Amino acid sequence: MHRVITIPAHPASSSHANALEFCHQLEAGNILLFPQSPIALTAEDLAFLRGLEHSHRSLHKNLAYKPLQDRIAGAKLASDDPAASQRLLHILRGYSRSTLQFLTEFLSPYTTRWQVDYASFRPLEEQGRSLPLHKRNDLLHTDAFPTRPTHGARILRFFTNIHPTQSREWVVGEPFRTLIPQMVPATTPAPRADGSLQRAVRSTLGRTPLGRAWPALRRSPYDQFMLRFHDVLKENADYQTNGQHTAVSLPPGSSWMVYTDSVPHAVLSGRFALEQTLLVAPEAMVAPEESPLAVLESLAGHRLV
Ligand SMILES: [Fe+2]
């Protein structure tokens, strides 16, 4: 079962041995929690972010910052209020850079072997959101990006709860390695009654047309499988209700990180979170056999990327 590993203080310079251990803990499916976030934000910036939803009714979803292009996705806020848009850009750029700077040392075995993905601000209360099933955050799922295939790279996410008083309430499920044997038959569109797990995986992967829906994306069979797996978990009411779950409370002012492509997670409540995503190269894993790619390739019996 996953564990939450609390890191009470973050030393200015952590040793390589410590960093290696943190990578191990993450790859084993644990959550690293900093009760006091190592990422500093000014009181003014926090107040601005918390006030944004009230002052801009058009904000209805997560705001994504694209570090490589240094811009915020979606032009609505920019056209409605250029000054607010510029300030938001400044804050998210700062959060993204500070987080990357922190992780460069904290997870030094990964440094230079990750691709910097989006950062985001999540202003809305998660409890009671009305979303289509596959987009719901309050159902256990593993992450997979429909428009950004990773080709086996791991999805590592660093979050910060910037609500002044309210915890962000998560539930996490059992690890990918033990979950997959229970779920793969459901992932397979038409599992054979006598099919072994290995055949079920092969069958699912054998039916994944490379990049059919998004030809330009060139999704690998691995990406196809992970996308389907995301949906399968959310569709499975029995798993959602009776699967092995643990509640995890993320306090105000804390940060945490986790491999969200292998740790099933659901957000039950909370608002005002910042987040930075990294795509870590499979070759950088300190325990490559734990990765979803390795687990699936051993079941499939051939390479999937
Ligand atoms: Fe997620």
Task: Classify residue 193 as left (phi > 0), alpha (psi -120 to 50) or beta.
Answer: alpha
Percent residues over pLDDT 70 in the chain: 82
Average confidence (pLDDT) over 162-177: 94
pLDDT at 215: 45
CA 266–ligand 1 middle distance (angstroms): 7
- Ligand 1 geometric centre to CA of 80 (Å): 29
In this structure, of 6-10, 149-153, 154-158, 214-218, the range with the lowest mean pLDDT score is 214-218
Ligand 1 mean position, distance from CA 232 (Å): 14
Distance 174 CA to ligand 1 centre (A): 15
Q: What is the pLDDT of residues 253-291, one digit of tens each?
A: 999 999 999 999 999 999 999 999 999 999 999 999 989
Q: Regarding beta strands 265-269 and 114-122, do their DSSP bridges make them parallel or antiparallel, or are they unpaired?
A: unpaired
Domains of the chain from N-terminus onward: 4-300 (2.60.120)
pLDDT digits (tens, 9 = 90+) for 220-258: 999 999 999 999 899 999 999 998 899 999 999 999 999
- Using the mean position of ligand 1's atoms as its centre, give its distance from the Cα of residue 291 in Å: 17
**Per residue in 58-93, pLDDT tens?**
565 678 999 999 998 865 666 678 888 899 999 999
Q: How far is the CA of 140 from the centre of ligand 1 (A)?
A: 8
Tokens of 221: 């069979």
Residue 81 alpha carbon to ligand 1 centre in Å: 30
Residue 100 CA to chain centroid, in angstroms?
16
Alpha helices, DSSP H, located in 107-220: 176-187, 197-206
* Rounded (10°) CA dihedral 204, 292, 290, 138: -120
Cα of 83 from ligand 1 centre, angstroms: 31
- Ligand 1 centroid, distance to 139 Cα (angstroms): 9
Q: How much distance in Å is there from the Cα of 158 to the middle of ligand 1?
A: 12
Q: What is the pLDDT of residue 126?
A: 87
| CA proximity to 34, closest of 125, 111, 99 | 99
| Cα(137) to centroid(ligand 1), Å | 6
CA of 271 to the centre of ligand 1 (A): 15
pLDDT band at 128 (very low <50, low <70, confident <90, very high): confident
Collect all residues with Cβ–Cβ distance below 8 Å to 35 and sequence separation of at least 6. 6, 8, 251, 253, 254
145 CA to centre of ligand 1 in angstroms:
10
pLDDT for position 200: 59
User: In angstroms, what is the span from residue 115 Cα to ligand 1's centroid?
Assistant: 18
List the strands of the sheet with 265-269, edge to edge: 245-250, 168-173, 265-269
Q: How far is the CA of 185 from the centre of ligand 1 (A)?
A: 22
Which helix (H) or strand (E) segment holds residue 224: the answer is helix 221-235
Q: Using pLDDT thresholds of 50, 70 and 90, give the confidence band for residue 168.
A: very high
